[in-house]
Amino acid sequence: MNFSEVFKQTNQLCKVSPDGKYLATCVQYRLVVRDVSTLQILQLYTCLDQVSHMEWSSDSLFILCAMYNRGLVQVWSLEQPDWHCKIDEGSIGLVSSRWSPDGRHILNTTEFHLRVTVWSLCTKAVSYIKHPKACQKAVDFSRDGRYLALAERRDCKDYVCVFVCDDWHLLRHFETETQDLAGLEWSPNGCVLAVWDSCLEYKVLLYSLDGRLLSTYSAYEWSLGVKSVSWSPSSQFLAIGSYDEKVRILNHITWKKIAQFEHPAILDSTKATVYKEVEKRPAVGSDEMSLHSITIGTTLFNTQSKYEISPLPVQIPVVKPDPDRANPKIGISALAFSSDSRYLATKNDNMATAVWVWDMQKMSLQAVLEQTSAVRCFQWDPLRPRLALCTGNAKLYLWSPGGCVSVQVPAEGGFQVQSLNWHCSGDSVILLGKEQLCLCYMDTDQEDK
């Protein structure tokens, strides 16, 4: 496993182009585009202010840089460096900006969610979508980029608008049976739209593309409900994480629950492997110094850690949430299916140090990774069943069905991994620190063995 040198970045703005060739990073008001393989700077653009959001267009030709506090969006072309585009939302403000799937339109959401402005780069045309809902996930494009689903709030009722992205034609507009819609998400095959209610009510609704209600699912009443929702890449399963610390899996034929994954604090009778991260201070022995003479600086400052398989029963540390505060730190906040839909990784908020990996074939717990500190971020390899996670220290953790490994990032000056992104080829991971970034190249040869 190799690591690149460390580069600067701000706001954790660092994205690889969809074709995997370029790496764009923002350093305050500058946008730097590098070649992924050589890491040489290809282009350098200067924005008008510090960038708050940056996004590649789907064809990897344009980069969008949004400056929310100025209400500005600047678009840069990779092929024509002197081409420029600037969108000014004016005094109405800007809270969110994104590309449309075709890479020729920009959707800006104004402050107070007054409207969504759709700017066309082809015709300079502007169109408005009124009454967008301010919620967890109000906008979602289908995977093939043909449809846009948008949550709408009118007369204290929730609606869903389905647009054809081609010409922004309103295809369907229907009212949903929700009290307070919290989010919507297309199934990966783009035929089913999952809509869920706010956490006050456990309600998941499934709509067909043509606006028919396919099914309604509610696991329980009264207590806090859905916290996170995720489709499996095969569109076969819909995983719903909720505040009762459980994940429920719905199937795509009857839309009924087929499995329920609980996250108990004490694991005693399970076939799952429990990996526990064990930290140990490096012994300051002379031989070790000589062996790792190059990395003395890092080894001295950082503790080493490794995984141990802990015998059952295992007690996972639980933090009891404060009942008086809103948005209690309890329940399943993160769900992610592996690319082959074989595994599901979950994180329970009141057991912040643990990541749970479930086997979707056996519908059982496969592994539990108990870290020494709270898990910040985890992401699946886009091609292989391999999970990368970080806990805000100088280590990268990897899980695969074969086992678990903890890798020290050999960067100087207290590089702490706050978040990570896989390269689309699965050969490297971009590790993002507070103001730095670093690429980690996986050993492909070893992987093949």
* CA–CA dist 243, 235 (Å, integer): 24
19 binds another protein (CB under 8 A): no
The single residue among 22, 50, 103, 365 that binds another protein, judged by CB under 8 A, is 103
Question: Cβ atoms within 10 A of the Cβ of 78, count?
Answer: 21
18 binds another protein (CB under 8 A): no
Q: Which residues contact 193 (CB under 8 A, 6 or more apart)?
A: 140, 149, 160, 162, 184, 185, 186, 187, 206, 207, 208, 209
The single residue among 89, 158, 185, 381 that binds another protein, judged by CB under 8 A, is 89
Residue 176 tokens, joined: 């949903």
DSSP 340-354: TSSEEEEEEGGGTTE
90 binds another protein (CB under 8 A): yes
107 binds another protein (CB under 8 A): no
Q: How many chain residues are in contact with another protein, going by CB under 8 A? A: 45
Query: For residue 161, is it left (φ>0), alpha (ψ between -120 and 50) or beta?
Result: beta
49 binds another protein (CB under 8 A): no
B/e letters for 189-200, b = 16+ CB within 10 Å, e = fewer, are bbbbbbbbbbbe
Q: CB-wise, 114 or 407, nearer to another protein?
A: 114
Q: CB-wise, 180 or 279, nearer to another protein?
A: 180
295 binds another protein (CB under 8 A): no
384 binds another protein (CB under 8 A): no
The single residue among 84, 271, 306, 434 that binds another protein, judged by CB under 8 A, is 84
Q: Which residues contact 222 (CB under 8 A, 6 or more apart)?
A: none
The single residue among 104, 137, 329, 342 that binds another protein, judged by CB under 8 A, is 104
The single residue among 33, 47, 121, 369 that binds another protein, judged by CB under 8 A, is 121
DSSP 266-317: EE-S-SSEEEEEEEEPPP--HHHHHHTSTTHHHHHHS-EEEEEEPPSSEEPP
Instruction: Return the range that interacts with another protein (CB under 8 A); candidates 29-37, 205-213, 289-297, 381-389.
Output: 205-213
Q: Between 180 and 199, how does the x/- string for binding to another protein read (CB under 8 A)?
A: ---------xxx--------
Question: Cβ atoms within 10 A of the Cβ of 18, count?
Answer: 14
Would the CA dihedral through 416, 57, 149, 257 be positive or negative? negative
* Smallest distance from another protein to CB 300, Å: 52
* CA–CA dist 272, 364 (Å, integer): 8
The single residue among 44, 48, 164, 296 that binds another protein, judged by CB under 8 A, is 164
Q: CB-wise, 90 or 313, nearer to another protein?
A: 90
Residues 143-162 that bind another protein (CB under 8 A): 146, 153, 156
Binding site for another protein (CB under 8 A): 58-59, 71, 82-92, 102-104, 112-115, 119, 121-124, 126, 131, 146, 153, 156, 164, 166-167, 169, 171, 179, 189-191, 208-210, 252-253
